[in-house]
Chain A
Amino acid sequence: MFSKLILRLAAFLLIVAALPAAAAVNVFASVPEWAALAREIGGDKVNVFSATNALQDPHRIEARPSLIARARSSQLVVATGAELEIGWLPVVLRESGNAAIQPGQPGYFEAASVVRMLEVPARVDRADGDVHAGGNPHIQLDPRNVLKVADALAARLTLVDPAGAVVYKANLARFSEKWKAAMVRWEQAAAPLKGAPVWVQHRSFPYLADWLGLKELGALEPKAGVEPGSAHLAGILERQKATSAKMILRPAYTRPTASDWLGERARIPVVVLPFTVGGSAEATDLFALFDDTLRRLLAGLK
């Protein structure tokens, strides 16, 4: 009797599972910036879901049931890669039972695969904290990277949904043009930032620093992902006396304690950067993210 029940259940499952999926492409983005980019490229051909919000630490997310459910009905996963999501995304993908979005399939896209990685560690050892063997994964704050990811994402969307190819191409062209124009504007505005020495809370900004020519003196975290102790901060304060930084940069999702402590003593501003779309009230999309980031940096410089 019981095995009959199981058989009936299995038959029911197969019938329900065979129901057709919705027409629009469901995109599962691991972080808000790729969700925003997918909206730019996909337009109304895609339904975009962002697995995290800007106030969450993308390293530490739980493989929540809601994420598994979303991954189950997605046709494309857009992740950062470089092990940023290693603590949760592999479980979400495996548990979803969705064969189309497993790594290696067209339905799984990693943004880090198309950009040049910075801070690739020469040695990989957990004694060094949260080390990412593939390099620093916070690639989104260099607009040149965004452009490359946009290109690759459009190609991937076309692969997953060939019917929308024309739309993706047109959207990409429009986005690229607008983005390049914005980059000229940003680079002009950011000229005073060139060579400005800064401290960073976590190594979140190497790509931003690389783009703008900021001089990162070091991170407040003694090791990636490890909260700084008072002795370490005192050491940084000493170094600040020797080579004085203009400001301390901190992404919106991190704890303010350490940055505020140092900022107060060194009498330099702590600049809280949105870090991703939604990280500040102003950063409503990718363009606004960079507008707001630059505005905050320039304000910090004064």
Chain B
Amino acid sequence: MAFLRPAALCVALAAAFPAAAFAASDADLKQLRDQLRELRDTYQQRIDALEQRLAAAEARSASASTAAVEAGTTASEAIRSVAEVRATADSAARRPASASTFNPAVSLIIDSKLTRFQRDPSAYRIDGFIPSGGEIGPPRKGFSLGESELAFSANVDHLFRGNARFALAEDDGAGVVEVEEVNVETLALPSGLKMKAGRFLSGVGYLNQQHPHEWDFSDAPLAYKAFFGYRLQNDGVQLRWVAPTELFLELGAEAANGGKFPGAERNANGAGLWTAFAHLGGDIGESSAWQVGLSHVRANPRARGFEDGADHATGAALQHSFSGSSQTWIADFVYKWAPNGNSRERYLKVQGEYLQRRETGELSYNLDADGVAAASSAARFRQSGSYLQAVYQFMPHWRVGVRGDWLRSGTADLGGLDPAGLPILAGYNPTRQTAMVDWSPSEFSRLRLQLARDKSRNGEADNQVWLQYVMSLGAHGAHKF
């Protein structure tokens, strides 16, 4: 076909200029022939070059298919392998060569709320309980920005994995960065052992290890607020062990500084707070899974301060402190059900925890500026709290949930102190009922409406409306059970 082209061109030219051909002289004809020959030669050269390239390409592909046959694969696979090489080359080209390849996984959680409360959230307290000093109150009325969590994690090397999580918040108009978690955990301890050191959320209970963005409700259960200042965060070490059994059994223990409630700020060597916990879990058929746990927290706070009551003359809050031993037991369970274990469509999650705390020691009443108490006496407290909640996803992306909270201030034996001087310790059993509905268009976003009737404050029921969003950006690690 290609060889015909110069000839066809001649014919076409001849056909196009018949008159010129007849009229032209011999010299003209010769010139024309020369030009045509030149043209044909040029084309011939190009064609030859193309033919050579074609032959070379054919030889290459033939050798490739020979190789393919030799390797015992089919020709289609040879083509595939060529494509594969190309894909590899592509991916190799795409691979970033810079040091940023080793950057830790970064995730950012943003959270914002619109709330409506009947009572002043800044005057929030849980009556019947020694204030835990944590951030336990609801956010301010109206629009508010929750804590933004910024988390980093990566394997440090073949032995350690590092995690860091910071909460960016605003406190009285000033931006504050709180270190929520900074720890390393071991990757290569033998026999199912794991160790964690640094600041971490204690493994006690069920909810304690979950970050606020994982909660099924906008705020923590009352029991956690009253007993741990909403969660037990430790500076210390944790050792955990998973049993090599079909039934999940995990045992763990922690030794920590105990500088926060139920411990107290301390200036001493060694640990001030110890925990031990056990979790047991398994499946019931394809559709259900369960986990139960029992945990113990023990601390020996020295001069754990709190405010209560006011001076008659100045109106300033009175300072008191407690020293002694504090022991908390937690029993927890969680049950999850999803048809065939496929939680995409529908699922049910029921969880509950019971916390009981005993504190014995000395209560010092009305400390002056030098820490000298106006009165002090031996005191004993035995208090408990629990919550029970159920969340049901009734169709993809939509969930409803209810939660009940109960606290029992129990028996407060103040010894020789006048109970009227410590109004917050007057016997009272706070309760709260919460209902929520949330919509999660993907695993990374959630919009929630929550209604609650909070009777944390004696005689001051607070009807609350919360509208909240929680969004996860960036690398988002898988959640625990």
B100: interface (CB < 8 Å)? no
Task: Assess the A225–B442 pair: CB atoms within 8 A.
Answer: yes
The A-B contact count (CB < 8 A) is 149
Whether B242 pairs with A97 at a CB distance below 8 angstroms is yes
Contact (Cβ within 8 A) B444 A116: no
| Distance A56 CA – B345 CA, assembled complex (angstroms) | 10
Identify which of A10, A116, A253 contacts B342 (C-beta below 8 A).
A253
Pair B191/A69 contact, Cβ less than 8 Å: no
B414 within 8 A of A: no
Cβ proximity bits A54-88 to B, threshold 8 Å, 1 near / 0 not: 01110011111110111011000000000000111
- Choose, from B80-88, B217-225, B257-265, B429-437, the stretch at the interface: B80-88
The answer, among B241, B289, B298, B343, for a CB contact under 8 Å with A66, is B289
Contact of A97 among B192, B283, B343 (CB under 8 A): B192
The reply to whether B192 and A96 contact each other, CB–CB distance below 8 Å, is: yes
* Set of chain A residues within 8 Å of B464, measured between Cβ atoms: none
Using A65-B289, A69-B249, A91-B479 as known contacts, say yes or no to A55 and B242 having CB atoms under 8 A apart: no
CB-CB under 8 A for A99 and B479, given A69-B242, A72-B244: no
A13-B241, A68-B248 known; A99+B442 contact, CB < 8 A: no
Distance in Å: Cβ of A98 to nearest Cβ of chain B: 6
A240 interface residue per 8 A CB criterion: no
Q: Name the B residues within 8 Å of A16 (CB-CB).
A: 243
Whether the Cβ atoms of A66 and B396 lie closer than 8 Å is no
Whether, in the assembled complex, B423 has its beta carbon less than 8 Å from a beta carbon of chain A, the answer is no
Closest beta carbon of chain B to A195's beta carbon, Å: 15
A126 surroundings in chain B (CB, below 8 A): 442, 444
| Known contacts A56-B341, A95-B480, A255-B345, A65 near B243 by CB under 8 Å | no
**A14 to B243, alpha carbons, bound, how many Å?**
10
Q: Whose C-beta in chain A lies nearest to the C-beta of B239?
A: A10
Q: Is A298 an interface residue (CB 8 A)?
A: no
Interface residues of B in 450-481 (CB under 8 A from A): 477-481
A73 touches B298 (CB 8 A): no
Which B residue sits closest to A69, measured CB to CB?
Answer: B248
Q: Is the Cβ of B244 less than 8 Å from the Cβ of A18?
A: no
Question: Given B245, B253, B283, which contacts A9 in the complex, CB threshold below 8 Å?
Answer: B253
| Of B279, B396, B478, the contact of A65 (CB 8 Å cutoff) | B279
Q: How far is the CB of B429 from chain A (nearest CB, A)?
A: 31
Q: Is A226 an interface residue (CB 8 A)?
A: yes
Given contacts A63-B480, A65-B281, A95-B480, contact A56 B342 (CB under 8 A): yes
A99 to B340, CA, bound (A): 31
- Which residue from chain A places its CB closest to the CB of B185 in the assembled complex? A94
Shortest B243–chain A CB gap in Å is: 7
**How far does the alpha carbon of A171 sit from the alpha carbon of B376 in the complex, in Å?**
79
Closest to A10 in B: B239
Nearest-CB residue, chain A, relative to B245: A69
CA distance A144 to B468 in the complex (A): 49
- Interface contact B187-A102, CB-CB below 8 Å: yes
Is the pair A95, B242 in contact by a Cβ cutoff of 8 Å? yes
Q: Mark B207-245, 1 if CB is under 8 A from A, else 0.
A: 000000000000000000000000000000001111111
CA of A21 to CA of B479 in the docked complex: distance in angstroms? Answer: 29
Q: In the assembled complex, which residues on chain B have CB atoms less than 8 Å from the CB atom of A86? A: 478
- Show the binding face of B for A, using Cβ within 8 Å: 77, 80, 83-84, 87, 91, 158, 161, 185, 187-194, 239-251, 253, 255, 274, 276, 279-283, 286, 289-291, 298, 336, 340-345, 396, 441-444, 477-481
Q: Is the CB of B281 within 8 A of A66?
A: yes
A116 touching B84, Cβ below 8 Å: yes
Contact A9 B282 (CB under 8 A): no
Q: Decide: A53 and B291 in contact? CB cutoff 8 A.
A: no
Q: Are A63 and B243 in contact (CB under 8 A)?
A: no
Q: Do residues A66 and B248 form an inter-chain contact, with CB atoms below 8 A?
A: yes
Using known A-B contacts A6-B276, A60-B343, A255-B345, determine if residue A65 contacts B481 with beta carbons closer than 8 Å. yes
A95 vs B479: C-alpha distance in the bound complex, in angstroms? 11
Instruction: Decide if A69 touches B340 in the complex (CB within 8 Å).
Output: no
Q: Is A90 an interface residue (CB 8 A)?
A: yes
Task: Specify which chain A residues have a CB less than 8 angstroms from the CB of B396 in the assembled complex.
Answer: 227, 255
Whether the pair A64, B481 counts as a contact (CB closer than 8 A) is yes
Chain A to chain B contacts (Cβ below 8 Å), 29 pairs: A3-B255, A6-B253, A6-B276, A9-B276, A17-B193, A17-B244, A21-B244, A55-B286, A60-B342, A63-B478, A64-B281, A64-B289, A66-B282, A69-B245, A69-B246, A69-B281, A72-B242, A73-B244, A73-B246, A94-B185, A96-B242, A97-B193, A97-B240, A99-B189, A99-B190, A102-B187, A120-B87, A253-B342, A255-B396
| Residue in contact with B442 in the complex, picked from A9, A18, A62, A226, CB distance below 8 Å | A226
Q: For B298, give its contact among A2, A57, A88 (CB under 8 Å).
A: A2
